[in-house]
Structure formats: C-alpha cells, structure tokens
Amino acid sequence: MALTRQQMDVKMDEHFGFEAADNVEGVLATLTADVEHDIVGFPTGPTHGRESARGFYETLFGDLSDGKIETIRRLYGERFLVDESTWSGRAPGRPFGLEGRNRPLSFRLLHVIEFTEGGDIKRENVWLDLAAIMQQLS
C-alpha cells in the first residue's frame, strides 16, 4: 500500500523536529530497528540498525547546535521521498572534522528516504554540501 504525501511529511517533520531538539532517542524512534543509515562521505560508511546510527547523531548534536531545517522542495514516490533542504544553525564542535568555534553555519542537504508500509523510515540516505561547510569553517 502506498503512503500518502501527508503521511511521509508527518514522519519527516517529526524526524527533523527531534533533530532540531537534539533528541537522539526521538530521532532513533522514527527509524526501523534494521534501518540502513547512510550519510554519504561519513567515515563509517552506511550503517545498519538504530544502534549503529546512534553514534552519528550523538556526534552531530555535539558538533552542531540551534539547528533549523527549511525544506525547499519534496518529491514523492510510492514509499519514498526526496527532500531538498537548507540547514542553518551554529557549529560549536568539530562538524565533519572542521573547527566550528561556535560560528554560524548554513548548508544544503538532500535526503532520500524510504519508508515501510507502516510509515517508519527504513532507509535514510543524506547528501550534504560539504564545500559550503568547508568554505564557512576553513
């Protein structure tokens, strides 16, 4: 059965809301137990399972703060969506190995999300504009 656009939007907005609140447990709850979690270019490569994704979020929430996602557009399929967004906030830690020094930061993101029939996220594939991050923090 296909999910509606509204059902996918609700889950993505919930996921992004937990990220904005630095709520690791909340973010993980939006994912299936066997989720494929792939932040393209992240040193671990794709991981499998909620607990394997935990480390990424714990690191992310230490490196970035006051994050806000602004969705630019979403494209929808039967049980997937592609979300083009801009993240903005501050970089108090060392995001992606760069010294943040609590500077403001903004960059584009592309999420490719696959859902289960029940609406949970079974695959999260994230592409980010590392060139913009490097330009702002180097």
The domain that holds 130 is classified in CATH as 3.10.450.50
3-state class (DSSP) for residue 100 = coil
Domain count, the chain: 1
The model's pLDDT over 52-104, given as tens digits with 9 standing for 90+, comes to: 999 999 999 999 999 999 999 999 999 999 999 999 999 999 999 999 999 99
Is 72 inside a domain boundary? yes
pLDDT of res. 44: 86
pLDDT of res. 41: 85
Is 12 inside a domain boundary? yes
* Integer Cα distance of 30 and 48 in angstroms: 14
Q: Nearest CA to 91 among 51, 64, 119?
A: 64
The model's pLDDT over 112-124, given as tens digits with 9 standing for 90+, comes to: 999 999 999 999 9
In DSSP terms, 76 is beta-bridged to 81
Cβ atoms within 10 Å of 41's Cβ, excluding its own: 11
Place of tokens 């190995």: 97
Average pLDDT over residues 43-60: 94
Cα-based angle 119, 122, 128 (whole degrees, multiple of 5): 110
Is 99 inside a domain boundary? no
Q: Print the domain residue range for 90.
A: 5-94+104-137
The model's pLDDT over 22-36, given as tens digits with 9 standing for 90+, comes to: 999 999 999 999 999
